[in-house]
Each structure stands twice: as structure tokens, then as C-alpha cells.
Amino acid sequence: MTLALRGGMVWDGLGDGPREATVVIDGDRIAAIGPDSGAPDSVDVSGLTVIPGLIEGHAHLCFNAATDWRAVYDSDSAPRMLLRMAAAGRSMLEAGITTVRDLGAPTALSIEMREAFATGLALGPRLLVSGAPITTTGGHCWFMGGEADSEVEVRREVRKRVKAGCDWIKVMATGGNMTRGTNTFEAQFTVDELRACVAEAHRLNRKVAAHAHGSAGIAVAVEAGVDMLEHCTFDTPDHGIVADPAVVAGIARKGIVVSPTVSIGYRAWRSDGRKSQRAAALREMVAAGCPMLMSTDCGIPGVPHDALAGGMEVLSEYAKIPPIDVLKLATSTAAQRLGLPDRGVLAEGRLADVLVVEGDPTRDLAALGRVRMVFKGGLRVR
């Protein structure tokens, strides 16, 4: 079936702004963008802007985004958790988020959810999954499984995830705020253990995303050569945030992608000093040339799964990044840095993952909250 979106403005994910054009969808692909082609079936998008579907770089579909998340997680049966994940995925898709990288859920369930969304058994975004993160015994998110305490055990956990069919390998380089008894400021693994993780993942054609908060853990992950740093907050023991210039320079030099997990939850922070410190650290990474993509850590308390647009506004404000560049971090740039050449851009032959909004999001990211239509693979889902 051929469908044309006529009468609106189109931003292809790469340009300096939207232009008048017609987007022609044929099956699950973009057939053409340009002058009206005369396609028989059309949708009038006058007064609206057509852009690529959004990409969320860090999500947790198995969490409920509320303060009782752990009690809910622990009490869920596997079928109930799968239903919870399906509902979260649907809310994301309806918000225009057509691709999601889930970086922490029980491995078997995340695989099942990815396949259910892919086959149309459930309505949701395209998923990339890491399954249960690799962590130390009693380390951050140990309750998902995946504890490992040596180079050999780390390699075995990588192999288990590849065998299961995971797309990414997630490793906890530091402790985390959502797991009692862990240390967010120090490294959980040695450089050699993380190097073993990276080497085994790369041997099996997978990339490694490292959860890292404190400077010590970030430094170990950078030295080990991980592919991506999640959070990268540079937390200090006195509850401050101070970016280490040498570590920042190493991130930029090695081309390690920073997934900053900036969300609407930041607006609820009580400490204005901490907010300004986080903003300064983000600006330092941007100024140093550290590559980034957009992510929010949605699913954790205070960060709804469908709130990517709000997080993009926060990142633009904190890091002083123009709206159009933040929009690229959630479309074309995200696709490139996640190794997804079939999406993130509206162009002939790309997947017809399309978002239609009221307003011009290249100038005002709030327009992303005014969703009027969403297409996944040419299928209109909203």
C-alpha cells in the first residue's frame, strides 16, 4: 500500500530545518520525499511537521517509574512483568518513540518483548535489548541476575547474553542509587575485568554499554575501552558533581559515546547547586567533543516511559545545545551511534518510522508533546 503525507513541513533528520514536501510511504519504507507524487491514498498534514520517529537510548520497560518500583518488581510474576513491559512500550510508541534500547530487564523477558513488538503480537517500538546487566556479587541490579566476579565469569556472562540473543552487553562499572549497599563512587570491576568484557563482546560482534556514576568508575571504563558510558555523571562522595578534565579528554579522544540519561526528573532535584554542577559537566563534555546520544533512563522513579521529549528539553536547557541538535541526538545521530542505518532519517529506502507533530520541533522541542500521528514501518499506530 502506498500512502502520501501531504501539505505539511518535513524535517528529514539531517537538515537545518523543515521544508515543504510530501512524504510517500510504500509498505514499511519511505518511497520518496519531495514534490507531490500523486499517490492515490493521502493524509493531509497541513500545519504539521513530519519528522523521523524518536529513538530512546536508555530505558527500563520492566520498572514502573514510581517510588515503589522495587516492591512491584519483586512481586511481579513473569507474565505480569511482560504485560507491564508491553504497556510501557505501547505508551512510548504512541508518544512517537519508535526505537528503544532497553538496558536492564530479565534477559528472557526482554527477548520475548522484543520479538512480540517485532512480529506485531504486541504494539510497541523496535527494541534493542541487553537483558540482565553484568554486575558483581551484590552489585548494582544484582536482582536481575548476571553476577560475575572474575575475568572468566565476566566472559561467561557475555557469552550467555549473546547465546540468548541480546543486542548489547550492559555492565555495571559502578554501583547505583537504586541498589542499597552499592558504592556509586567507586569502580565495581577492575580494568582487566572490564577489558575482558569488552574483548569478549567485540569478538562476538556486540558493543558494551557501561553504567558509570563516580569518576573512579568512569575512568576504569574509559581505560578498558567500553563503547558507551551510561549516565557519566561524575558524582562525588559529598553529593556534588565535578567532571574530571583528564577523563573527559579520554572519552573524547577514544570516541566513547556518552548516553547522559537526562530526564524530566532533573526538574525535581532539590539542590540548585547540584543542578548547576550537572549542567556544567554536560557542557564540559560537549565542549570537549564527547559524542552523545539522547537517553533518559525512563522507568526509574519520576521518569515516565513516554517522557523523552521532556528530557530533550532539559538537555537543551542544561547543556546549552540548540533544539535542532538535541533532536538529531534522538534521531539521525542516535541511529548512527547505535548502528542502525535503516532509521533515524526520512529518506528513500529507510524504514517508515515517522512522527507528525503540531509546531516546529527544530526550533521548539515542546512541539514533540503535541503528537498528531505516529507510523511504525508504515503502519499508522496513532
Report d(CA 312, CA 296) in Å as an integer.
9
Q: For the structural domain made of 2-52+344-380, what CATH number should be given?
A: 2.30.40.10
Is residue 163 classed exposed, middle or buried when 0-12, 13-18 and 19+ CB atoms within 10 A define those classes?
A: exposed
SS3 (DSSP) at 343 = coil
pLDDT for 268 equals 86
- Residue for cell digits 539521525? 332
Pairing outcome for strands 354-358 and 371-376: antiparallel
Give the C-alpha distances (Å, rounded to integers) separating 242 from 9, 248, 303, 304, 347. Answer: 42, 11, 24, 27, 41
pLDDT for 36 equals 75
Report d(CA 275, CA 306) in Å as an integer.
23
* Overall fold of domain 54-337: TIM Barrel (3.20.20)
DSSP for 218-270?
HHHHHHHT-SEEEEEEEE-TTS-B---HHHHHHHHHHTPEEE----GGGGG-S
Q: What are phi and psi of 178, to 5 degrees?
A: -95, 10
Inter-residue contact 196 to 217 (CB < 8 Å)? no
Q: Same CATH topology for 2-52+344-380 and 54-337?
A: no
Q: What are phi and psi of 276, to 5 degrees?
A: -65, -35
Q: Quick count: other Cβ atoms within 10 Å of Cβ 80? A: 11
Inter-residue contact 117 to 87 (CB < 8 Å)? no
Give, in degrees to the nearest 5, the angle at Cα 185 between 180 and 191: 110
Count H helices and E strands in the chain, helices first: 11, 17
| Residues sharing a CB contact under 8 Å with residue 163, sequence separation 6 or more, in sequence order | none
348: left (phi over 0), alpha (psi -120 to 50) or beta: beta
pLDDT for 38 equals 65
SS3 content of the chain, % helix, strand, coil (to 5): 35, 25, 40
pLDDT for 239 equals 84
pTM here is 0.97
Domain ranges of the chain: 2-52+344-380, 54-337
Inter-residue contact 92 to 355 (CB < 8 Å)? no
b/e for 314-327, b at 16 or more Cβ within 10 A?
bbbebbebebbebb
Could you state, in chain order, the average pLDDT of each consecutive group of 10 residues for the chain (382 residues)?
Answer: 94 97 96 79 94 98 97 96 98 98 98 98 98 98 96 98 98 95 96 98 98 97 98 92 96 98 90 88 97 98 98 97 98 98 98 98 98 97 91
